[in-house]
Amino acid sequence: MKLKTTLAAAALISLVSTGAMAAGDKAKGQALYTTCAACHGQNGEGQEALNAPKLAGQEEWYVVRQLQNFKTGVRGASPQDVFGMQMAPMSQLLTDDQAMEDVAAYVKSLAK
């Protein structure tokens, strides 16, 4: 019984950590990134004047996690989080986790 629970938990963790979805599609991600470029730069280089950080070369798992954090209000929900609040509505443009994976695959591919 205990082993079963442990196995179920392990399976769940691996589902969460792999995202249990298809790998990101760079081409689709590139199309999605058009909106993002206004703040994060054409090549994902970031723009300090807008407080938009560099995304180029960033790990996909990290980008997806942050996009989920913005979308679910873990980041960018407090009025004190001025810059986070600018990013939060942008995350809503990514309609599902697959779209996040796609855009993450694209920014990862940009030269650091």
One of 40, 44, 60, 105 touching ligand HEC (CB under 6 A): 40
Q: According to DSSP H, which parts of the chain are helical?
A: 2-18, 26-40, 60-71, 82-91, 97-109
**At closest approach, how far in Å is the CB of 109 from ligand HEC?**
13
From 3-11, 13-21, 30-38, span contacting ligand HEC (CB under 6 A): 30-38
**At closest approach, how far in Å is the CB of 15 from ligand HEC?**
22
- The burial of 76, by beta-carbon neighbours within 10 Å (0-12 exposed, 13-18 middle, 19 or more buried), is given as buried
Residue (5 or 17) nearer to ligand HEC, CB: 17
Asked if residue 14 binds ligand HEC (CB under 6 A), the reply is: no
Asked if residue 67 binds ligand HEC (CB under 6 A), the reply is: yes
- Nearest residue to 99 (alpha-carbon basis) of 72, 75, 63: 63
Cβ(20)–Cβ(74) under 8 Å?
A: no
**At closest approach, how far in Å is the CB of 48 from ligand HEC?**
10
For 107, residues 6+ apart whose C-beta sits below 8 A from its C-beta are 29, 33, 40, 44, 55, 56, 57, 58, 63
Asked if residue 110 binds ligand HEC (CB under 6 A), the reply is: no
Asked if residue 7 binds ligand HEC (CB under 6 A), the reply is: no
